[in-house]
Amino acid sequence: MTTSSIPNDIDQGDSAEPPRSSLLERIFGNQFVLLGLLLTLLGWVAFTRIWLFVLIVAIVASVFLHEMGHFLMAKRNGMKVTEFFIGFGPRVWSFRRG
């Protein structure tokens, strides 16, 4: 009978740290709950303070168009662009190709 030489110190995954979650995710649960709260807040702002809502939408649209400009110019000049995303810190929205 032969015995295989499998080391006993192979990590079985028991000692691995659980993935870290953001503070907001720990407080509010998952990202769908956070998105629901954000949409509720924006809905409230839209009905109570219409000009604040218009300002928020204008800023988001401006940032989106600005970042899209970087993306399109890089593609036009032959750079390999694999990702486009909106967000500061954690991504709010993204897509990946290539």
Which of the residues are catalytic? 67
Q: What is the chain's Cα-based Rg? A: 23
| Amino acid at residue number 72 | L
Distance from C-alpha of 11 to C-alpha of 17, rounded to nearest angstrom: 12
Q: Tokens 């939408």 label which residue? A: 57
